[in-house]
Amino acid sequence: MNKLLSYIMITGLVALSITSCKKNNLVIDKEVIPPAFAKFNTLQPGDTITTHYIRSNNAPLVLPVGITNVSDQPRVINFSYSSRNAVQGTQYNAPTSITIPAGKALDSLVVTGLFAGYTSTRVDTVTITITGGDGLTASSYKSRYHVILRKYCDVVLANLGGAYVRTFEGTYGPYTSSVTNLTSTGATTATATITNVYDSNISMVVTFDWTNPASFRVNINPQQTQYTSGGLPMFIRANAASASTFSSCDNTITLRLQLYTSAAIVDTWTSSMAK
């Protein structure tokens, strides 16, 4: 074997040895595990706003909460609460932390509105914020939930009907008006006759509508009365400038009405009816 061939073979073996050495000493990156985040599991991006109607049976509001990974250890998620007027223990009850069991990433935060803490007109907003927990960071985009709390009483037609002995028109009153002939026309509507409107024996047909739980309405179509003004028939109708409403919690009715003829508006007033 000549010297040149011998040199080429030795050079090749050295190169192979160096390549093999590099292959056997590759540095493999360690697995990167992202940090765990706690968040409200909602479909909406960012803060979520919801209205919770507080009923007499205290059915709670259940908010889904989750962590972005699963652990073999239980983990605590902490919460803080803020509100302009609602007070923990008076208007609502809710825990300051919950524990996600080992092997799970989802659980629920239960908020209970307190029926006794609300009048029919009171409305509060409570902001719930995830503040972190066991090895957890609050999500930057789903860490807050705004809950609007308000009272809700089921409509019972038997309670809605009957005599309202404390009917007023401003300072005039009290006198008695009545709700009669109540007839259900659907799951959230009913027709009725209100008598002695204006303390003048005027009767009118109305529709009670509680389809929107935040706004119970009394709908009134124009209808003729037994009176005339200036020789013209007098009619009664709703005042279009402001809605007529009722409360199933207080058993009260507020009617905003007008008397009118084809020539002019005779009077505009509000009747406040209470039992």
121-174, pLDDT tens digit by residue? Answer: 999 999 999 999 988 999 988 999 999 999 999 999 999 999 999 999 999 999
Give me the pLDDT at residue 29, please. 56
For residue 129, give both structure tokens.
């914020």
157-274 maps to CATH 2.40.128 = yes
- Domain map of the chain by residue range? 37-151, 157-274
Kindly state the average pLDDT of the residues 79-86: 98
CATH of 37-151, one of 2.60.34.10, 3.40.50.300, 2.60.40.1740, 2.60.40.10: 2.60.40.1740
Task: Give the model's confidence band at 16: pLDDT under 50 very low, under 70 low, under 90 confident, else very high.
Answer: very low
Percent of the chain with pLDDT over 90: 83
Give me the pLDDT at residue 25, please. 53
Give me the pLDDT at residue 163, please. 98
Percent of the chain with pLDDT over 70: 88
Return the higher-pLDDT residue of 9 and 150: 150
pLDDT exceeds cutoff 80 at 6:
no
pLDDT exceeds cutoff 70 at 44:
yes
Kindly state the average pLDDT of the residues 205-218: 97
CB 136 within 8 A of CB 88: no
d(CA 102, CA 71): 6
Kindly state the average pLDDT of the residues 40-53: 91
Kindly state the average pLDDT of the residues 245-263: 97
pLDDT exceeds cutoff 70 at 35:
yes
Return the higher-pLDDT residue of 2 and 244: 244
Give yes or no on whether 37-151 and 157-274 have one common fold: no
* HEC string for the chain: CCHHHHHHHHHHHHHHHHHHHHHHCCCCCCCCCCCCEEEECCCCCCCEEEEEEECCCCCCEEEEEEECCCCCCCEEEEEEEEECCCCECCCEECCCEEEECCCCCEEEEEEEECHHHCCCCCEEEEEEEEEEECCEEECCCCCEEEEEEEECCCCCHHHHCEEEEEEEECCEEEEEEEEEEEEEEECCEEEEEEEEECCCCEEEEEEEECCCCCCCEEECCCEEEEEEECCEEEEEEECCCCCEEEECCCCEEEEEEEEECCCCEEEEEEEEEEC
CB 207 within 8 A of CB 194: no
User: Of the given ranges (12-21, 59-68, 141-150), which has the lowest mean pLDDT?
Assistant: 12-21
Q: Which residues of 43-65 are buried (b: 16+ CB within 10 A; e: fewer)?
A: eeeeebeeebebeeeeebbebeb
Give me the pLDDT at residue 57, please. 81
Q: pLDDT, tens digit, for every residue of 222-236?
A: 999 999 999 999 999
- What phi and psi values does residue 100 have, to the nearest 5 degrees? -85, 120
- Least Cα distance to 271 among 172, 187, 180 occurs for 172
Give me the pLDDT at residue 31, please. 60
- Least Cα distance to 94 among 80, 84, 106, 83 occurs for 80
d(CA 83, CA 148): 10
Bridge-based pairing state of the strands 37-40 and 137-138: parallel
**Mean pLDDT value across the chain:** 90
CA dihedral 40, 41, 44, 46 (to 10 degrees): 30
